């Protein structure tokens, strides 16, 4: 599998996507650091950009990479190579490139201009979202042979988790405003990795005071050991299940 992974990484690097993505991240981070010197505001701005851009880029790139390498994948499947190794080499290459782009793109400016421990949380959220949406994109790709349809499904995942889901939650809160919905809202957060990453970061920045009673409730939960372990476990579950299901479909798929 290491040889397949090496080839996949070489193929991605040759396409120059990794370089362009990293440069884009560096320019965004430098621009934000030039505007403000408040580390909390900088981290919050980087978080907002990361929550929108990283899932979108991860979903589109992972889908495109899968179909661009479909002929090579079919060739490998005709060889005495395990399907699991072929699949894992492809998705691991995508995850490694996306993760390194975030680490270098956001991490280097943070080291140069200065940052606190929240930088580790921010980078962890970015890497986690990259893994999640790359997994969702591969799941969409193995479910259909139509590249355009797969990209549409991947974009649908991004639109739903980044835009639509929050609207549904806000509608629920507005409709049942007379009832205590703190625990319900907390539970709904676990079903959206983007919201989960946002809340974890906001609790690290100690901005919960601006969120009223609900913010205090979240701070009490996510600030506790139980909350940290549960939120980390849910992020891990989100990173695992799309890849696991996609790999199972890939093993049974007739190419």
- DSSP result, 81-108: --HHHHHHHHHHHHHHHHHHHHHHHHHH
What pLDDT, on a 0 to 100 scale, did the predictor assign at position 131? 95
State which H helix or E strand residue 112 sits in. Answer: helix 83-113
Q: Exposed, middle or buried: residue 156 (CB in 10 Å: 0-12, 13-18, 19+)?
A: middle
Whole-angstrom Cα Rg for the chain: 19
How far apart, in whole angstroms, are the C-alpha atoms of residue 193 and residue 209? 23
Q: How many Å apart are CA 71 and CA 59, to the nearest integer?
A: 20
Question: CB under 8 Å to 199, separation ≥6 — which residues?
Answer: 189, 218, 222, 231
pLDDT in the model for residue 212:
45
pLDDT confidence band for 115 (50 / 70 / 90)? low
pLDDT band at 210 (very low <50, low <70, confident <90, very high): very low
CA distance 88 to 34: 40
Task: Map residue 194 onto helix, strand or coil.
Answer: helix
Nearest to 138 by CA among 2, 252, 254, 244: 244
At 122 the pLDDT is 85
What does the pLDDT read at residue 113?
75
pLDDT above 90: residue 136: yes
State the pTM of this model.
0.90
User: Could you give the percent of the chain with pLDDT greater than 90?
Assistant: 32
pLDDT at residue 82 is higher than 70: yes
Mean pLDDT, range 62-80, rounded to an integer: 87
Asked if the model's pLDDT at residue 118 lies above 90, the reply is no
Q: Residue 199 and residue 184: Cα distance in Å, rounded? A: 15
Asked whether the predicted pLDDT for residue 203 surpasses 60, the reply is yes
pLDDT, one tens digit per residue, over 148-179 is 999 999 999 999 998 898 888 878 877 776 77
**In Å, how far from its chain's centre is CA 209?**
27
Torsion of CA 55, 59, 238, 179, to 10 degrees: 50
Q: What is the pLDDT of residue 56?
A: 94
* pLDDT score for 3: 80
Nearest CA to 129 among 221, 41, 196?
A: 196
- 159, with CB counted inside 10 A (0-12, 13-18, 19+), is middle
Alpha-carbon torsion, ordered 95, 152, 66, 144, to 10 deg: 130
Tell me the per-residue pLDDT of 223-247, one tens digit each, with 9 for 90 and over.
666 777 888 888 999 999 999 999 9
């Amino acid at each position: 599998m290491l040889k397949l992974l090496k080839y996949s990484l070489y193929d991605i690097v040759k396409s120059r996507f990794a370089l362009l993505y990293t440069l884009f991240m560096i320019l965004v981070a430098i621009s934000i650091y030039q505007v403000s010197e408040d580390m909390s505001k900088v981290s919050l701005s980087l978080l907002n950009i990361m929550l929108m851009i990283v899932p979108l880029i991860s979903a589109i790139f992972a889908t495109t990479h899968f179909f661009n390498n479909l002929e090579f994948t079919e060739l490998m499947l005709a060889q005495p190579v395990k399907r699991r190794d072929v699949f894992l080499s492809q998705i691991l290459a995508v995850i490694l490139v996306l993760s390194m782009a975030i680490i270098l793109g956001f991490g280097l400016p943070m080291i140069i201009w200065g940052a606190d421990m929240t930088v580790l949380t921010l980078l962890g959220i970015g890497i986690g979202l990259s893994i999640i949406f790359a997994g969702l994109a591969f799941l969409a790709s193995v479910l259909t042979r139509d590249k355009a349809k797969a990209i549409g499904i991947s974009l649908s995942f991004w639109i739903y988790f980044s835009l639509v889901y929050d609207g549904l939650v806000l509608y629920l809160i507005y409709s049942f405003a007379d009832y205590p919905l703190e625990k319900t809202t907390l539970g709904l957060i676990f079903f959206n990795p983007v919201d989960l990453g946002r809340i974890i970061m906001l609790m690290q920045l100690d901005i919960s005071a601006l969120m009223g009673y609900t913010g205090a409730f979240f701070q009490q939960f996510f600030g506790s050991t139980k909350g940290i372990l549960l939120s980390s476990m849910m992020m891990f579950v989100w990173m695992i299940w799309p890849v696991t299901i996609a790999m199972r479909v890939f093993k049974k798929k007739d190419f």
